[in-house]
Amino acid sequence: MFLDTRVLRHLTAEDWRVLTAVEMGSKNHELVPTPLIERIARLKGGASGVHKSIATLAKSGLIGRMKEAKYDGYRLTYGGLDYLALHTHSSKDVVYSVGSRVGVGKESDIMIVADKTGKQKILKIHRLGRISFRTVKSNRDYLRNRQGGSWMYLSRLAAMKEYAFMQALQEEGFPVPEPISQSRHTIVMSLVESLPLRQVSSVPDPASLYAELIDLILRLAKHGLIHGDFNEFNILIKEERTNKYTIEDGEEKEEETVTLVPIIIDFPQMVSMDHVNAEMYFDRDVECIKRFFKKRFHFVPTSPGPFFKDAKKTVGKDGARRLDAAVEASGFTKKMLKELEKAIEEQQAKIDAGEAVAEDEELEDDEEDDDEDNSDDEEDEEDGQEEEVQAVFEIPASVGRPVED
């Protein structure tokens, strides 16, 4: 499933109100009873064609019925939540048009978007619950105990966490994309014109790039953080060109120097240096870089380490602000961190055990749009991140007009 903006232009104000009503109802109901949708929508805008809107939204796949439901009701689909988020971003003038998808992971979709001035940005849509569990329907306590351990809640947590960390890291001068806006399960950030390290076949000086990346790991540690997924997909390499002018034999010469600047992305799994498994995460990040540099650039550092125990001693030193604490203070509580972490772990365990099914399989057939693309998508998710970055610099259509893809 990916963002499909074709239906956007058909939606009336009434449809939006009903869609919002379903979202509001979802806070307390996994399946929002139809009478409740009617009531919330009417409260917001007077009686009228709520039913017509429900039909339109269901037909467009923005809300769905569930198979074997005990009562008549609807729930938001990913599509519905995507639309609500886009609506918010566009009302804040952050997003005007939606372009192509640059990447798809197991847990996110990455789209190029642009504002009214044509400035391009990245929309990251968290899809933590893209996979749901067969057992969910028969075991509703599972959801209740976790206070909506639903995909909607978890994806929103992932987006909130990522946004909070991106903001804190940016404030501290770390090389990260600029966080622009967050709504529900999505964030908008600046587009980094770059290639993921994964797609970089050679660099002039592997030793210095390696040192820079290790330095980033240590700088994060000093601020109390471990990236947790510091791999060649999550490090973007930007080329910065500078021109140097020199006078040689009375003649002016221009020399271009290219510097490679690493930018770090992807923060939902970041952990504190105080985490019980901090050492494991730290070592894994270091190993990841070492392995990649050896394989890709045949570079092996001369000295071992860096080691967790040394990094641990630097936490908060020299007046370094604890960003793990700062993020918590910004409203992302320990409880939320735990919930998110637990959900990611549980989900992974279910996937490993082969118990997971694609989210949309639970929708009734007649509400599934003919172009649902689960099967194809799920297949290339593993290597989806390898999609060409260059292929995206085009905005085919604006929000409110159909997207040809």
Binding site for Mg ion (CB under 5 A): 233-234, 266
What are the structure tokens assigned to 268, written together? 């939902």
Task: Write down the least CB distance from residue 152 to ligand ADP, Å.
Answer: 18
Nearer to ligand ADP, 196 or 224 (CB): 196
Q: What are the φ/ψ torsions at residue 306 (nearest 5 degrees)?
A: -70, 155
Q: Is 229 a catalytic residue?
A: yes
Burial class (CB in 10 A: 0-12, 13-18, 19+), 396: middle
The site partner of 107 among Mg ion, ligand ADP, none (C-beta below 5 to 8 Å per kind) is ligand ADP
Nearer to ligand ADP, 106 or 401 (CB): 106
Q: Say if residues 41 and 18 touch (Cβ distance below 8 Å).
A: yes
Q: Taking contact as CB under 6 A, which single stretch among the options 44-52, 184-192, 214-222, 250-258 is the one that binds ligand ADP? A: 184-192
Q: Which amino acid is at 183?
A: S
Q: Taking contact as CB under 6 A, which single stretch among the options 29-37, 87-95, 138-146, 192-200 is the one that binds ligand ADP? A: 192-200
Cα separation values, 16 from 41, 62, 180, 187, 401, Å: 9, 11, 24, 21, 16
- E strand or H helix at 108, and its extent? strand 108-114
Q: Is 363 helix (H, G, I), strand (E, B) or coil?
A: strand
Among 132, 234, 347, 398, binds ligand ADP (CB under 6 A): 234
The site partner of 167 among Mg ion, ligand ADP, none (C-beta below 5 to 8 Å per kind) is none
Cβ-proximal residue to Mg ion, closest one: 266
What is the contact mask toward ligand ADP in residues 359 to 388, using x (rule: CB under 6 A)? --------------------------x---
Residue from 328, 321, 378 nearest 2 by CA: 378
Q: Taking contact as CB under 6 A, which single stretch among the options 19-27, 188-196, 288-296, 393-401 is the one that binds ligand ADP? A: 188-196
DSSP letter at 345 equals H
Residue 340 touches ligand ADP, criterion: CB under 6 A: no
Please tell me the distance from the alpha carbon of residue 191 to that of residue 263, in angstroms, as a whole number: 11
What are the structure tokens assigned to 298, written together? 């045949």
What is the contact mask toward ligand ADP in residues 102 to 121, using x (rule: CB under 6 A)? xx-x-xx-x-----------
**Beta-carbon neighbour count of residue 203 at 10 Å?**
17
Q: Which residues fall within 8 angstroms of residue 66, CB to CB, at 6 or more apart?
A: 31, 73, 75, 137, 362, 363, 364
Among 191, 216, 327, 403, binds ligand ADP (CB under 6 A): 191
Q: Measured at the alpha carbon of residue 324, what is the angle toward residues 319 and 327, in degrees to the nearest 5?
A: 110
Among 15, 115, 266, 359, binds ligand ADP (CB under 6 A): 266
Task: Write down the least CB distance from residue 231 to Mg ion, Å.
Answer: 8
Given 229, 274, 285, 324, the catalytic residue: 229
What are the structure tokens assigned to 90, written together? 């566009």
Task: Write down the least CB distance from residue 21 to ligand ADP, Å.
Answer: 31
Tokens 């009701």, residue?
73
Annotated catalytic residues are: 229
Residues that bind ligand ADP (CB under 6 A): 102-103, 105, 107-108, 110, 122, 124, 177, 189, 191-192, 194, 196, 233-234, 236, 265-266, 385, 389
